[in-house]
Amino acid sequence: MLTAAHLAATWFMVGLIWTIQSVHYPLFAAVDSRSFLEYERLHTRRMGRLLALPAPVEIATALLLVVLRPDDIEIWAAWVAGALLAAAWLVTLTVQVPLHRRLSAMPESETIRRLVATNWVRTGLWTARGVLAAFFLI
């Protein structure tokens, strides 16, 4: 049950980050500058609501997989998955959040470009987590 909940939450996040990376963030550049501040405000609020359940579930199950590690999951794999998750959230808090704050104050094409470019790091981290989570279930 723990492994299945972890897999579901992680793959939700993988799907979400790929949607953000390939569709949502690139479309920021197409939003009219007069509408952008409201668009960014709504984006931030709705993303928060969307993440309210799967993000805490992913974090909690990742921690539980390290602490209560099932016998069929190697300890190194549980720790690597946890480190990838920590890195993804560290990048979110130190890079993506400040870029969103900058966009909330003044929409600039260079900031949007940096948002898209730096988000590849999170996309890679969550994708790697998804692969590990799939192996946990196998």
- DSSP readout, 64-106? HHHHS--TTS-HHHHHHHHHHHHHHHHHIIIIIHHHHHHHHH-
Q: Which residue has the tokens 């999170």?
A: 122
Alpha carbons 83 and 81: distance in angstroms, whole number? 5
Alpha carbons 11 and 112: distance in angstroms, whole number? 26
Alpha carbons 121 and 85: distance in angstroms, whole number? 12
What does the pLDDT read at residue 138? 78
What does the pLDDT read at residue 137? 82
What does the pLDDT read at residue 96? 97
Alpha carbons 136 and 84: distance in angstroms, whole number? 15
DSSP letter for each residue of 96-107: IHHHHHHHHH--
Could you report the per-residue pLDDT of 81-105, keeping only the tens digit for each?
999 999 999 999 999 999 999 999 9
What does the pLDDT read at residue 51? 96
Low-confidence ranges of the chain (pLDDT < 70): none
Could you report the per-residue pLDDT of 64-79, keeping only the tens digit for each?
999 998 888 999 999 9
What does the pLDDT read at residue 100? 97
Q: Is the pTM of this model over 0.85?
A: yes
What is the chain's alpha carbon radius of gyration, rounded to the nearest angstrom? Answer: 16
Under 8 Å between Cβ of 65 and 82: yes
